[in-house]
Amino acid sequence: MKVTYYLEVISSWCHWSEPAWAELKSCYAGRVDFQWKVALMQPGDYPVSRAQCEWFYKRSGTIMRSPYMLNPDWLVLGKGDSFDNPSLVAEAGKDFGITDDTIRLALAKAAIFDGMKVAQMAVSATIGAKAAGIPVKKLKARAESAAVRARADASTAEFFSHRINQRPAFILEDAIGDKVVFSGLARVEPIAAAVDAMLADTAAYKSYASHFGTVPSK
Q: What is the pLDDT of residue 205?
A: 84
Rounded CA-CA distance 39/169 in Å is 9
* Domain, as residue range, for 133: 2-212
| Planar angle of CA 111, 113, 117, nearest 5 degrees | 25
Q: What does the pLDDT read at residue 207?
A: 82
Mean pLDDT confidence for 107-131: 97
For 40-49, what is the mean pLDDT? 91
CATH number, domain with residue 97: 3.40.30.10
Predicted pLDDT at 127: 98
- Residue 216 has a pLDDT of 78
- Per-residue model confidence (pLDDT) at position 133: 97
Strand-strand pairing, 169-173 and 33-38: unpaired
- Residue 216: is the preceding peptide bond cis (ω within 30°)? no
Residue 210 confidence (pLDDT): 81
Predicted confidence (pLDDT) per residue in 182-198, tens digit: 999 999 999 999 999 99
For the segment 3-21, the average pLDDT, to the nearest whole number, is: 97
- Which pLDDT score, from 0 to 100, does residue 209 have? 77
| 132 part of a folded domain | yes
Rounded Cα gap, residues 54 and 112, in angstroms: 11
pLDDT band (50, 70, 90) for residue 206:
confident
Q: Would residue 177 count as lying in a domain? A: yes
Residue 215 pLDDT more than 80? no
For residue 61, the model assigns a pLDDT of 96
Section 199-209 average pLDDT: 88
Mean residue pLDDT across the chain: 95
Please indicate, yes or no, if residue 53 is contained in any of the structural domains: yes
Confidence band for 214, pLDDT divided at 50, 70 and 90:
confident
pLDDT value for 96: 98
Using CA atoms, how far apart are residues 14 and 34, in angstroms rounded to an integer?
16
Pairing of strands 169-173, 179-183: antiparallel
When divided into structural domains, the chain yields a total of 1
Is 218 within a domain? no
Complete DSSP assignment for 81-99: --TTHHHHHHHHHGGGT--
Distance CA 90, CA 129 (A): 10
> What tens digit of pLDDT does each residue of 131-172 get?
999 999 999 999 999 999 999 999 999 999 999 999 999 999
Q: What is the mean pLDDT of residues 99-123?
A: 97
**217 domain-assigned:** no
- Kindly tell me if the per-residue pLDDT of 110 is higher than 90: yes
Report whether pLDDT(26) > 80.
yes
Q: Does a structural domain hold residue 25?
A: yes
97-109 average pLDDT score: 97
Q: Examine residue 87 and state whether it is found in any structural domain, yes or no.
A: yes
Query: Which one, of 91, 96, 147, lies nearest residue 107 by Cα?
Result: 91
